[in-house]
């Protein structure tokens, strides 16, 4: 039986009726058409599905959508404002923080949380915080540089 859920996604308030088995990742991608958030492993191991819930990062594949009631969700689609890239998006472009790009939305959402939570003080701290976001292309050094650039 579906459950009513009211939430805000990228600044837009929504009232939804949700199957309790639906993950936030599937809600975003399949029901709301927000396909910027990627499905890598679907079991909490890769970070491709990272979004922000009330400003804190979550793995959307591990979070049931019914848990979003009253929450504010930000996805990669919600970062840019006024036709301008978010500073972290611009820094990833500037520093080549990606190759194939599949992990990039999750990397950027984690990177935003990294700075907001005060974990971007040293390279080691950044690497530790970002360790849940896997990049098969190995763009890690450039990602660290992008985060440092935004921090400073």
Residue 89 or 133: which CB sits closer to ligand FES? 133
Tokens at 5, concatenated: 């859920």
49 binds ligand FES (CB under 6 A): yes
48 binds ligand FES (CB under 6 A): yes
Using the 8-state DSSP alphabet, how is residue 100 labeled?
A: S
CA distance readout (Å), 28 to 22, 59, 63, 95, 97: 10, 12, 12, 28, 24
78 binds ligand FES (CB under 6 A): no
**Binding residues for ligand FES restricted to 24-43, rule: CB under 6 A:** 39-42
Residue 146 has phi, psi (to 5 degrees) of: -65, -45
Which residues are CB-neighbours of 72 under 8 A, at least 6 positions away? Answer: 7, 8, 9, 53, 54, 55
Residue 30 or 123: which CB sits closer to ligand FES? 30
Rule CB under 6 A: choose which of 36, 47, 78, 105 binds ligand FES. Answer: 47
Rule CB under 6 A: choose which of 6, 45, 69, 81 binds ligand FES. Answer: 45
Q: Which residues bind ligand FES (CB under 6 A)?
A: 39-42, 44-49, 59, 61
């Amino acid at each position: 039986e579906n459950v009513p859920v009211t939430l805000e996604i990228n600044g837009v308030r929504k009232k939804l009726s949700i199957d309790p088995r639906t993950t936030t990742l599937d809600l975003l991608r399949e029901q709301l058409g927000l396909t910027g958030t990627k499905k890598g492993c679907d079991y909490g191991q890769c970070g491709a599905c990272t979004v922000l819930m009330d400003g804190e990062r979550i793995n959307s594949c591990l979070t049931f959508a019914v848990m979003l009631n009253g929450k504010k969700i930000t996805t990669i689609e919600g970062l840019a404002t006024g036709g301008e890239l978010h500073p972290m998006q611009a820094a990833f472009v500037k520093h080549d923080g990606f190759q194939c790009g599949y992990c990039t939305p999750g990397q950027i959402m984690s990177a935003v949380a990294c700075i907001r939570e005060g974990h971007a003080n040293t390279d080691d701290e950044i690497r530790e915080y970002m360790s849940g976001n896997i990049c098969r292309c190995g763009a890690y050094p450039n990602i660290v540089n992008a985060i440092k650039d935004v921090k400073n």
